[in-house]
Amino acid sequence: MSRVRVLICGICGKMGQEVAKAVAKEDDMEVVAGVDLENVGIDIGEAVGIGHLGVNIMSDLSAAIYESKPDVMVDFTNPKVVLSNLRVAISKKVHCIVGTTGFSEADINEVRRLSEANGVNVLIAPNFAIGAILMMKFAAIAARFLPNVEIIELHHNQKMDAPSGTAIKTAESIIKERKEAASTPMNELEKIKGARGGEFEGIRIHSVRLPGLVAHQEVIFGDQGQTLTVRHDSINRESFMPGVILSIRRIKEIEGVLYGLEGLLDL
């Protein structure tokens, strides 16, 4: 059986390195290319600490696709370049798995058009941790009975976008599932602007950025005489790898663009 050929965009980043290590451990897939602006010309395996692979890091995505002929591109870069990377990969008929967040609705619509025009599948996942997907699912169920809710998401201080894609997707799921609107709060006096967090269609979202954190989120529901908290913690970036590997194996099964890993988990 032929192995899935994987190109990793942003391979020198913390997530890119983890993806390279995870793919290298699997018998049914292989890293055939790595793209980054750092360590160009250095062997991928040596750069990420898994031994010599015989494939050097490149800075030009188009050239890397031409030389390596990948089946799948995994992108963990940043919101400023991810859409450009997708335009290149999709135009060259490469399926795409995207962990980079910060997509607008217009961005996703563009990816859908490109995907349909080129017959390429794309998975955009705000979070690849299976536990995080379950956290969002449980929160959506709770929202049917407890409409009053706030979200607190906590990430490392290198994360560029706020709130996180996971927090936004959680809020979207809650809005879709709850059967009644949240109660209207009393007139508030916000002594420091932003103290109550950002508001997304009536749901307050609070973003914390501190060194020492990885990715964490709690969804707090309140009702008469009770609260319910649903929380997930990624202690390290290895927590995302089972979801990434699952996505690589199943990317050819989806049709067009899938937003969220839960679409592959039969929840």
CB 143 within 8 A of CB 202: no
Indicate whether 116 and 95 sit together in one domain. yes
Sign (positive/negative) of CA torsion 10, 85, 217, 22?
negative
Answer whether residue 83 is part of any domain: yes
Indicate whether 158 and 173 sit together in one domain. yes
Total number of domains in the chain: 2
Task: Write down which residue in 96, 124, 152 finishes a domain.
Answer: 124
Q: Which domain holds residue 186?
A: 130-234
Answer whether residue 246 is part of any domain: no
Answer whether residue 14 is part of any domain: yes
Question: CA-to-CA distance for 243 and 131, rounded, in angstroms?
Answer: 10
Answer whether residue 261 is part of any domain: no
Answer whether residue 171 is part of any domain: yes
Known catalytic residues are: 155, 159
Indicate whether 68 and 178 sit together in one domain. no
Indicate whether 74 and 176 sit together in one domain. no
Q: Which CATH number belongs to the domain containing residue 41 in this structure?
A: 3.40.50.720
Question: Which residues have C-beta within 8 Å of that of residue 17, sequence separation ≥ 6?
Answer: 11, 47, 48, 49
Indicate whether 147 and 206 sit together in one domain. yes
Indicate whether 115 and 137 sit together in one domain. no
The pLDDT value given to residue 186: 72
Q: Which CATH number belongs to the domain containing residue 173 in this structure?
A: 3.30.360.10
Indicate whether 97 and 138 sit together in one domain. no
Token digits of residue 198: 């950002």
Indicate whether 118 and 160 sit together in one domain. no
Question: CA-to-CA distance for 121 and 112, rounded, in angstroms?
Answer: 9
Give yes or no for a cis peptide into 163 (omega within 30° of 0): yes
The pLDDT value given to residue 95: 98
Q: Bridge partners of 234?
A: 215
Indicate whether 150 and 222 sit together in one domain. yes
Indicate whether 117 and 156 sit together in one domain. no
The pLDDT value given to residue 182: 81
Indicate whether 74 and 152 sit together in one domain. no
| Per-residue tens of pLDDT for the chain, all 267 residues | 689 999 999 999 999 999 999 999 999 999 999 999 999 999 999 999 999 999 999 999 999 999 999 999 999 999 889 999 999 999 999 999 999 888 888 999 999 999 999 999 999 998 999 999 999 999 999 999 999 999 999 999 999 889 999 999 999 999 999 988 787 777 788 899 999 999 999 899 999 999 999 999 999 999 999 999 999 999 999 999 999 999 999 999 999 999 999 989 987
User: Which residue reads 């998975």 in tokens?
Assistant: 123
DSSP calls for 68-95? H--SEEEE-S-TTTHHHHHHHHHHTT-E
Answer whether residue 111 is part of any domain: yes
Indicate whether 36 and 142 sit together in one domain. no
Question: CA-to-CA distance for 213 and 263, rounded, in angstroms?
Answer: 27
The pLDDT value given to residue 101: 81
